[in-house]
């Protein structure tokens, strides 16, 4: 061995092997001890594929045979056991020695364990991030149908148990007058009761305490195990989840208190029109605030993260696999940004104020059509110089949204027809689909499913009328009329 080759062999960071046609190692550089734990003399004379993970061995042996047969270089990735039993990831570059009687092969082996772990961690983080974003989206959508504090509590506890299984969430109720706490509670709660702020996380003795809000001198306090929050993305998710929950709790607190007083005063009679108008106006205000908060906080944070990651990709060079993973995260961020924008649009429909009801409905139908299996046919008659107030506009728009949601979930329809028209005194909407329909008894005012009750109350709040017609197998027809206020 000349001194130049000896210098290279002793100081190369990669493993260099010479392997014969029988897969026996004829030469190994000293780096084999640094990387695999074997002294070179231990490695020489043994089968080169013995340390490989059994699942990879046959594939690499076949690759070795093909390299000898074709005389072409090969590149492979595989897993190897270190002498101490640790699993390592290797990348090998195989070059056959041309015209050698023993069909020798020179193998350059690089330890890529760190890279593989980074790739695996990036993939795990990307998947976790996407999971958290999807959960937030579904949670925020579900909150639009929550009408009681008890329902909010159940939905919140379910979400925490699902997303962070070891969080052990509890909702405790503290009576500020009697200083009593319902149910079992951590000992450290007493120490933080006076220091809790609505929506803020307080860590004490391995517990996270969050004051969701107060109702009738009763404080609703969420507690979870602090050890369950293991990453910064989980903490951001929890803070965002709490933000949504606090907003809905405050709105429900107002609504439930008002409804309780009204139901007592009216002795369980039907809700008056003005009460329904008030409730729907409060609901729209809540949607608007939530849309604004999502746009100004969560969306801006995601966009800043996207721009920073784009900058990193442009400024630094990464291995192709790492680059692919990072670009996957960038695409995931773009999807999340798109989803948040769509959620904001659902909460606060674009064009409704600026362009009016017809343009807003056309935009809604175009967006819905892209992701739906049914065809939407929208027609307009005698709508020139239409002038309706914002309350009527949003009321009709929300009913159309509910009809689209019901069609997607229940109707199995192929075609949905919407016809909007007006007379001198009222505006009319006729909806017709060719879906499965349902029994007539489900059309009664007492029937609460499929959003029919909500549509009735929405129309009642506008002093209008709504008529449902359906039979099993005969689709659904909905006719509504809203008097024009101007």
pLDDT of 321 > 80? The answer is no
| Residue 223 belongs to some domain of the structure | no
- What average pLDDT score do residues 35-63 get? 90
| Closest of 400, 456, 451 to residue 430, by C-alpha | 400
Among residues 111, 126, 146, which one ends one of the domains?
111
pLDDT of 2 > 70? The answer is no
| Residue 134 belongs to some domain of the structure | yes
In this structure, the answer to whether residues 276 and 394 fall within a common structural domain is no
CB atoms within 10 A of CB 453: 13
In this structure, the answer to whether residues 138 and 52 fall within a common structural domain is no
Q: Could you tell me what percent of the chain has a pLDDT over 90?
A: 20
pLDDT of 446 > 70? The answer is no
Q: Which domain holds residue 67?
A: 3-111
In this structure, the answer to whether residues 263 and 127 fall within a common structural domain is yes
In this structure, the answer to whether residues 87 and 28 fall within a common structural domain is yes
Which of 256-263's residues contact partners 24+ apart within 8 Å by CB, and which partners?
A: 256/148, 256/149, 256/215, 257/215, 257/216
| Residue 81 belongs to some domain of the structure | yes
CA atoms of 18 and 313, how far apart (whole Å) = 38
| Residue 407 belongs to some domain of the structure | yes
In this structure, the answer to whether residues 33 and 156 fall within a common structural domain is no
pLDDT in tens, 113-146: 888 888 888 888 888 889 998 998 888 888 877 8
Among residues 347, 380, 395, which one ends one of the domains?
347
Q: Could you tell me what percent of the chain has a pLDDT over 70?
A: 86
| Residue 175 belongs to some domain of the structure | no
In this structure, the answer to whether residues 283 and 156 fall within a common structural domain is yes
In this structure, the answer to whether residues 32 and 101 fall within a common structural domain is yes
In this structure, the answer to whether residues 362 and 420 fall within a common structural domain is yes
Among residues 43, 76, 111, which one ends one of the domains?
111
pLDDT at res. 169: 92
| Residue 197 belongs to some domain of the structure | no
CATH, residue 49: 3.30.450.20
Question: Where is average pLDDT lowest: 52-61, 251-260, 399-408?
Answer: 251-260
CA atoms of 253 and 282, how far apart (whole Å) = 12
| Residue 390 belongs to some domain of the structure | yes
| Residue 208 belongs to some domain of the structure | no
Question: Where is average pLDDT lowest: 102-106, 246-250, 288-292, 318-322?
Answer: 288-292
In this structure, the answer to whether residues 363 and 470 fall within a common structural domain is yes
| Closest of 344, 280, 296, 331 to residue 141, by C-alpha | 344
CATH, residue 410: 3.30.565.10
In this structure, the answer to whether residues 53 and 131 fall within a common structural domain is no
Question: Where is average pLDDT lowest: 137-141, 163-167, 271-275, 469-473?
Answer: 271-275
In this structure, the answer to whether residues 60 and 102 fall within a common structural domain is yes
pLDDT, mean over the chain: 83
Q: How many domains in the chain? A: 3
In this structure, the answer to whether residues 105 and 34 fall within a common structural domain is yes
């Amino acid at each position: 061995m000349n001194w130049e080759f000896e210098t290279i062999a002793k100081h190369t960071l990669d493993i260099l092997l010479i392997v014969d046609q029988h897969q026996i190692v004829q030469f190994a550089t000293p780096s084999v001890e640094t990387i695999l734990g074997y002294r070179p003399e231990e490695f020489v004379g043994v089968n080169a594929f013995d340390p490989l993970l059994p699942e990879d061995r046959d594939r690499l042996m076949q690759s070795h045979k093909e390299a000898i047969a074709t005389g072409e270089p090969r590149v492979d990735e595989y897993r190897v056991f270190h002498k101490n039993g640790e699993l390592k990831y290797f990348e090998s570059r195989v070059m056959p020695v041309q015209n050698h009687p023993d069909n020798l092969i020179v193998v350059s082996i690089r330890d890529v364990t760190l890279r593989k772990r980074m790739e695996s961690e990036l993939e795990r983080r990307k998947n976790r991030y996407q999971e958290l974003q999807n959960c937030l989206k579904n949670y925020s959508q579900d909150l639009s149908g929550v009408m009681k504090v008890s329902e909010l509590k159940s939905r919140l506890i379910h979400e925490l148990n699902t997303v962070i299984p070891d969080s052990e969430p509890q909702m405790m109720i503290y009576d500020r007058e009697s200083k009593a706490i319902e149910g079992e509670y951590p000992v450290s709660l007493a120490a933080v009761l006076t220091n809790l702020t609505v929506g803020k996380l307080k860590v004490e003795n391995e517990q996270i305490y969050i004051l969701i809000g107060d109702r009738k001198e009763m404080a609703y306090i969420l507690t979870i195990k602090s050890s369950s929050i293991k990453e910064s993305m989980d903490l951001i998710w929890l803070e965002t989840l709490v933000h949504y929950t606090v907003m809905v709790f405050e709105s429900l607190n107002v609504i439930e208190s008002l409804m309780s007083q009204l139901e007592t005063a009216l002795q369980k009679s039907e809700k008056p029109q003005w009460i329904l108008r008030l409730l729907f106006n409060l609901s729209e205000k809540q949607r608007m605030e939530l849309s604004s908060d999502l746009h100004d906080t969560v969306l801006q944070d995601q966009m800043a993260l996207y721009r920073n990651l784009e900058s990193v990709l442009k400024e630094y060079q990464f291995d192709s696999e790492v680059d692919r993973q990072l670009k996957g995260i960038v695409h995931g961020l773009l999807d999340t940004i798109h989803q948040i924008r769509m959620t904001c649009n659902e909460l606060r429909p674009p064009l409704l104020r600026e362009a009016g009801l017809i343009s807003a409905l056309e935009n809604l139908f175009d967006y819905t059509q892209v992701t739906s299996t049914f065809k939407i046919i929208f027609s307009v008659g005698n709508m020139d110089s239409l002038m309706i107030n914002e309350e009527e506009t949003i009321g009709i728009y929300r009913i159309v949204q509910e009809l689209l949601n019901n069609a997607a979930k229940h109707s199995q329809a192929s075609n949905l027809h919407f016809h909007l028209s007006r007379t001198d005194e009222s505006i009319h909407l006729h909806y017709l689909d060719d879906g499965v329909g349902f029994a007539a008894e489900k059309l009664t005012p007492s029937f609460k499913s499929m959003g029919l009750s909500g549509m009735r109350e929405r129309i009642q709040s506008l002093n209008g009328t709504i008529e449902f017609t359906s039979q099993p197998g005969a689709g659904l027809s909905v006719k509504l009329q809203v008097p024009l206020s101007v």
